[in-house]
Amino acid sequence: MFEFIEVLRNHSFMQNAVIIGLLASVACGVMGTYVVVRRIVFISGGIAHAVLGGMGIAYYYGYNPMHGAVVSALIAALVIGFVSLRYHQYEDTLIGALWALGMAVGILFIYKTPGYNVDLMSYLFGNILMVEGEDVRLLAYLDALIILSVLLFYKRFLAVCFDEEYSRLQGIGVVSTYLLLLCLIALTVVILIQVVGIILVIALLTLPAATARYYARSLIQMMILASLFGAVFTTSGLMLSYQPDLPAGATIILIAGLAYLLATVSKGLVSRFHGYRKRY
Amino acid sequence: MKTNDVVIKIDGVDFSYDGDLILKDITLAVKEGDFLGVVGPNGSGKSTLLKIILGLIHPLRGMVRVFGQPPEHARHLIGYVPQHADLDYSFPISVRDVVLIGRLGKAPCLGGYRKDDRQAAEEAMQEVEIYNLRNQRFGTLSGGQKQRVLMARALVGKPDLLLLDEPTTSVDGRVEQDIYELLKKLNEKVTIVLVSHDVGFISTYVNRVACVNRSLSCDRTEHITGDVIEACYSGPVHMLKHKCEL
């Protein structure tokens, strides 16, 4: 604990890590709320895993893998969004295929890249302690873009998520709104990959929002609460993992998962208690 | 009401889904001020007919005009109340926000709703007597209250035509009566088309009944006889005996 504060005060890598954790919390709180209420966890998972393809290709050709991740995340969002709208009946099979294809492409390119392949593990499981200044700036821009878009399109996203058919009757572009939402989720995924890696992205995207759902009465409340939960999970994860030298990403997810379980169980107990009081 | 303009005109419409003919040669005219009840057994194509009037789906053959235009162009004049069972009750959304969705097409593209949108939402909520519930979560309401919220959402765009799909499923008899009384009051201003599988109750409120069972077997109903209904349901129906006042 004290050691963590000492490191945080003196070393930029830990400062960067905490900043990224907070940036990620806002993004996952806001966009995770949409993922949870619209029930598109699987679609988001497909986008997240397909991102590895773009990262691998960028890595092979000597570009910044982060840039590859942004491009491939957006492409994956549009392709998967199109598939889920157009071929709704086969949605899960097709997304499962894209999910695996993206990963396979990424692994092939990373494998064929000359040199020592340490990066594959950090893409898959996160490397929050090794993110550099330039990437922090990129993540901050992505965060700003996500928040600005949600501010501008809040009422449309709400309407399309709650009642797609009625939104269509209102004459708004339901398809374009939905694809925009998926693109913003894709950008969120890119931010979260830095924190916990591709494999665990879905957990960080959904657990804070799912926990917040138990206490929120509106979408905006859920977003704020989920962002706060995210901030607590990431910061405490960094704190707890540093001294025993545990992987930060996995520690963060473990804390988030335990908090969600705790919230679920306590919510269940409370409603059971109320049911008991009503009956007797 | 004063004029007798045709609001909905359907002529020779066929609709099929996956090769099955669901609606066959439907011809129907709804006049301004009508309160039309569309009845028929489950799976008879009643809801499909509503969706065709809304322009959500397109017929295989035939012509549909709403206020003299193709349905897509008349949507701003239509208020639609879908079956609320299709909505996600666990969604964190307040009653006010549900009602405001009815203003989405009129509100600016970016940013929040304007003051007149909020004003219209408040008036619509008062009209169907749910203003006191405005801050409640939609999912926590009773079936009848949910129905009123969806009616407010349909009314908030100030429509000239109101379409309702099974508005009284999952509500008990007294609430059902309240909803029909409310609709009767609304009918002083708007034309109403209501879909229901419940033949008996609606006949006291509507001024015309159309029976759908793939084909539209009866329309103009100054007198609805048991025979016509039985033909539609292909079985005896005992609720409907009395004359339908026009």
A248-275 per-position pLDDT tens digit:
999 999 999 999 999 999 988 888 887 7
Q: Does residue A279 sit within a domain?
A: no
Q: Model's pTM, two decimal places?
A: 0.88
Q: Does residue A188 sit within a domain?
A: yes
Q: Does residue A280 sit within a domain?
A: no
Q: Does residue A58 sit within a domain?
A: yes
Contacts 24+ apart (CB under 8 A), A176-179: A177/A153, A178/A81, A178/A85, A179/A77, A179/A78, A179/A81, A179/A82
The token duo for B215 is: 């084909």
Distance from CA of B162 to the nearest CA of A (A): 13
B58-95, pLDDT tens digit by residue?
Answer: 999 999 999 999 998 998 899 999 987 788 999 999 99
Whether A163 and B101 lie within 8 Å, measured CB to CB: yes
- Contacts B102 to A, Cβ<8 Å: 166, 170
Whether B76 and A171 lie within 8 Å, measured CB to CB: yes
Mutation site, B84, B91, B140, interface A, largest A CB count within 10 A: B91
- Contacts A88 to B, Cβ<8 Å: none
B193-216, pLDDT tens digit by residue?
Answer: 999 877 666 777 888 888 888 777
Q: Does residue A9 sit within a domain?
A: yes
Q: Which of the residue ranges B85-89, B215-219, B224-228 has the most confident prediction, judged by mean pLDDT?
A: B85-89
Q: Does residue A238 sit within a domain?
A: yes
Whether B93 and A162 lie within 8 Å, measured CB to CB: yes
Which range marks the domain in which residue A258 is found?
2-274
CATH number at residue A51: 1.10.3470.10
B101 — contact with chain A (CB < 8 Å)? yes
Q: Find the CB nearest B104 among A172, A213, A218.
A: A172
Interface confidence (ipTM) of the complex: 0.87
The token duo for A250 is: 């996995």
B91 — contact with chain A (CB < 8 Å)? yes
In chain A, the number of structural domains is: 1
One-character DSSP codes across chain A: -HHHHHHHHH-HHHHHHHHHHHHHHHHHHHHHHHHHHTT-HHHHHHHHHHHHHHHHHHHHTTS-HHHHHHHHHHHHHHHHHHHHHH-GGGHHHHHHHHHHHHHHHHHHHHHHSSS---HHHHHHH--GGG--HHHHHHHHHHHHHHHHHHHHHHHHHHHHHH-HHHHHHTT--HHHHHHHHHHHHHHHHHHHHHHHHHHHHHHHHHHHHHHHHTT-SSHHHHHHHHHHHHHHHHHHHHHHHHTTT--HHHHHHHHHHHHHHHHHHHHHHHHHHHHHHHH-
Q: Candidates 3.20.20.140, 3.40.50.300, 3.40.50.1010, 3.50.50.60; correct CATH number of B6-233?
A: 3.40.50.300
Whether A170 and B104 lie within 8 Å, measured CB to CB: yes
